[in-house]
Amino acid sequence: MKLLVFFCFFALKLANAQQINYSPAYFGPNANPVPEFNRAVIPSTTTVNLSGSSYSGFGDVTKNINFAVEIPLLPEFVSFKIWVAALENYKVTQAVYDLRQMEGDKSGFIGVGDFYVQTRMLILREKTYAPAIILNSTLKTASGDNFDQRRYFDTPGYYFDLEFGKSILTNNNVLNEIRGVANLGFFCWETTNSRQNDALMYGGKIILSNKRIDLENTLAGYWGWMQNGDNPLVYNAKLIFKTNRLNYHFMYQYGIKDFPYHHVQAGFSFELSKLTPNYNKLKAENNGIYL
């Protein structure tokens, strides 16, 4: 009898798991967001970014701290990047709780979310009539907690994407550079019963720059095949103030589809030359050969 009860309980849990939508429309904002893409430039110095994010507006209020570091293994050619959302505090309404089939509390705290580990490689240098092309290879871990509260997937994922970037320089004190960036890739993550969702990634960005300020406007998303809230599309505007030591940024993001959040972010970035691999030493160790 006890064995029968156990199998019935297991079958109910399995059936419930199969009904869970592993998609951004039914999870917290840091579970499977639209991947950010860069300006199709690999830095020459290690860059650290710290920011705070606030998500609200659709029955889920989430606040967290973000950390990212990019280390150029070969300056301007190859880099290694890692980022994570940490110290997440959240609270949802009863309607969202029921929609997501959550279990346990409607509010809580998470120390560390999923880690993203990325390798970036320059494929083609920017030329007069050709854009720069950068290949990104990214792994998303399943280290995030609170799956029962639908904060993070309990499965890993990965994506590959290409960044295409081209600048137009202007002889203007107000506007020095106009840069266009396009992004195209493939995003994959596991769901239940070893099934996976495969999605086409896409995006476009326009950057207006002068010596002190950058203004970025980005439209990006991905298109999954399961059609269960897995087609997020977002728009964001970011303002970056550049100084000698720190760059400050302020961003607003609106979820147009399948990402039900208003996202506000503020943060800063800085360079760490001491954590940058020594180019001259690398060159000497490789008998003067550098790409």
The CA distance from 68 to 84, in Å, is 7
Determine the pLDDT at residue 9: 40
Helix/strand/coil percent split, the chain, to 5? 15, 55, 35
Q: DSSP string spanning 220-269?
A: EEEEESS-SS---EEEEEEEEEE-SS-EEEEEEEEEEES---EEEEEEEE
| 23, 32, 143, 177, 227 from 100: Cα distances, Å | 10, 15, 20, 45, 16
**Pairing relationship of beta strands 213-224 and 262-272 according to DSSP bridges:** unpaired
Residue 107, both tokens: 């509010």
pLDDT in tens, 138-173: 999 999 989 999 999 999 999 999 999 999 999 888
More confidently predicted of 194 and 238:
238
Task: State pTM to two decimals.
Answer: 0.88
- Split at pLDDT 50, 70, 90, the class of 277 is confident
The CA distance from 100 to 117, in Å, is 28
Supply the DSSP symbol for 25: G
- Residues 131-135: what's their mean pLDDT? 98
Residue 228, both tokens: 């269960």
The CA distance from 3 to 196, in Å, is 32
Q: Which residues are within 8 A (CB) of 10 and not within 5 positions of it... i.e. 6 or more apart?
A: none
The CA distance from 219 to 240, in Å, is 17
Structural domains of the chain, with CATH: 2-285 (2.40.160.40)
Share of the chain above pLDDT 90, in %: 82
Question: How far from chain centre, in Å, is Cα 186?
Answer: 14
pLDDT in tens, 21-40: 999 999 999 999 999 999 99
Helical (H) or strand (E) element with 3: helix 2-19
| Least confident span in 58-62, 143-147, 178-182, 273-277 | 273-277
Q: Which of 229, 156, 144 is nearest to 191 (CA)?
A: 156
Determine the pLDDT at residue 279: 61
- Residues 170-199: what's their mean pLDDT? 92
10, pLDDT greater than 50: no
109, pLDDT greater than 80: yes
| 17, 45, 264 from 184: Cα distances, Å | 31, 26, 25
**E runs forming strands in 77-172:** 78-92, 107-124, 132-140, 157-169
